[in-house]
Amino acid sequence: MMTPFSKMHGLGNDFVVVDERVERHGLTPARIAALADRHRGIGCDQFVVLRPACREGADVFVRFFNADGSESGACGNASRCVADLLWRGEGRRQSVLQTRAGLLPAWVDEAGLVSVDMGAPALDWRDVPLAEPADTLHLPLPGDPAAVSMGNPHATFFLADRLDLDPVVAGPLLEHDALFPERANIGFAEVLSGAAMRLRVWERGSGLTLACGSGACAAVVNAVRRGLVARTCRVEMDGGALSVTWREEDGHVLMTGPATTSFVGSFDPEAYPS
């Protein structure tokens, strides 16, 4: 039986979205990794599976998988894509996404931009998590990165020049550093002004992507903690820009940007290894 999917992206950070709210499609980690392969599968940065919500107040349960088939607790750009899908397919301009990182309210404005409340960042070393006690504002690593969890672990390096570190070289080494027992997403940020930064992110299990929503949120939180930017900041990435606000009143992080459906299609799960 063929399985329908939507191919979507947020600023080039692309996803395969499969709806399993009615029936399951045998999506094992191995099969997801095969489908995410850009040469032999559909190709994507992350694979997104929709399931029936099991928490009061939620509209859908969303599971996020990296391109290697491992599961992630959160994905900001994919969350915006799911919210856009619910709006266009079901008329829900406002929705609540249940994720392993918690409930994420989302809404679509009149211009079609999608905002997601990513919740409050986790700043304690245990919650990132780190392998040992450390000051998350100044990790004991060369380059003095800061760490935070936005539902998944992030470390942000602040560079005087974007060429100071090559994400393709440094990213995989830092992702697997012993300080990060669950691996980590590694951000490379260049502060442009008090209200703007340039960011590239090596994503855990996926590699360098054109944009990373949770990485943008993490970079702004860490930059605010260091007094580098204001609480509302434009984050420019290879695929485009997001607006991120770390609200003072409740500590939640809001992320706003576009979400796009590239095409829809179907695949035969049995054609991929389980």
pLDDT band at 202 (very low <50, low <70, confident <90, very high): very high
Fold of 3-109+260-271: Diaminopimelate Epimerase; Chain A, domain 1 (3.10.310)
- pLDDT tens per residue, range 16-70: 999 999 999 999 999 999 999 999 999 999 999 999 999 999 999 999 999 999 9
Residues comprising the binding site for substrate?
A: 13, 46, 66, 76-77, 152, 185, 203-204, 213-214
Cβ-count burial of 252 within 10 angstroms (0-12 exposed, 13-18 middle, 19+ buried)? middle
pLDDT on residue 56: 95
Residues comprising the binding site?
A: 13, 46, 66, 76-77, 152, 185, 203-204, 213-214
Structure tokens at 192: 């442009």
Q: What is the mean pLDDT of residues 89-98?
A: 96
Predicted TM-score (pTM) of this structure: 0.94
Structure tokens at 117: 């409340």
pLDDT on residue 83: 98
Q: Which of 75, 81, 217, 233 is catalytic?
A: 75
Domain ranges, ordered by start, for the chain: 3-109+260-271, 125-257
- pLDDT tens per residue, range 187-201: 999 999 999 999 999
pLDDT band at 1 (very low <50, low <70, confident <90, very high): confident
Q: Considering only residues 126 and 162, tell me which one the structure prediction assigns the higher pLDDT.
A: 126
Q: What is the mean pLDDT of residues 251-274?
A: 96
Same CATH fold assignment for domains 3-109+260-271 and 125-257: yes
**pLDDT of 162 over the 80 cut:** no
Annotated catalytic residue 54: no
pLDDT on residue 163: 65
Instruction: Provide the percentage of residues in the chain whose pLDDT is more than 70.
Output: 99
Cβ count near 120 (within 10 Å): 15
Taking the C-alpha atoms of residue 172 and residue 69, their distance in angstroms, rounded to an integer, is 17
**pLDDT of 274 over the 90 cut:** no
Q: Which of 44, 212, 217, 233 is catalytic?
A: 212
Rg (CA), the chain: 18
Annotated catalytic residue 75: yes
pLDDT band at 273 (very low <50, low <70, confident <90, very high): confident
According to CATH, what is the number of the domain 125-257?
3.10.310.10
